[in-house]
Amino acid sequence: MPATTADRPTTLLSASLRRDGRALAHVLSELGRLYQFHDRDCICCYDVSVTQCRALELLAERGLMTLNELAAGLYLDKSTTSRVVDALERKEYARRKAHPADGRAVRVELSHRGRGLVQRIEDDLAMRHAGLLAEFSPDVRQAAIRLLSQLAEAAAQRVQTVGGKCCVVDR
């Protein structure tokens, strides 16, 4: 497996790449903060937390999942994810099912009501994002979406969902 930039000591990275890395970190941090509040303000209208909404989105995207798979997808531990699912069950947006092959495992799926909620939230967010994108040309919009998708994929490959370590760059 080839070494990634995250595997190399910072002294081997060019000054330009380090500068760009810092700039990207700053922009992503600011974007993350803005979207954290943007999502909270939009999603709270639907009687779910941002974490509950993320769980619903994952279940809509991936279908039936074990609790462990859902926890990994949310980057949360199993006990926290179990509490998220508890709340979604109380609101009748999701339900637990016994795993047919593993008596200890639990699977989670969206309910019909949960599917409807996800669709309403996605429609609302799409309208909000369309308003944000309206000031850009179609070429710029598509390029931005491709770039952000590639960045998200690259970042996801570097995230450890269990037993993560604090530092990934040797100094």
Cα(54)–Cα(145) distance, rounded to whole angstroms? 20
Task: Give the contacts of 24 (CB within 8 A, at least 6 positions apart).
Answer: 151
* H-helix or E-strand spanning residue 48: none
60-112 per-position pLDDT tens digit: 999 999 999 999 999 899 999 999 999 999 999 999 998 888 878 889 999 99
pLDDT of residue 108: 96
pLDDT of residue 4: 54
Whose CA is closest to 56, among 89, 97, 100?
89
113-139 per-position pLDDT tens digit: 999 999 999 998 888 889 889 999 999
How many domains does the structure of the chain reveal? 1
Does residue 23 lie within any of the structural domains? no
Let me know: does 99 contact 93? Beta carbons within 8 Å: no
Does residue 25 lie within any of the structural domains? no
Does residue 37 lie within any of the structural domains? no
Domain carrying residue 61: 47-156
pLDDT at 146 over 50: yes
The counts of H helices and E strands in the chain are 6, 3
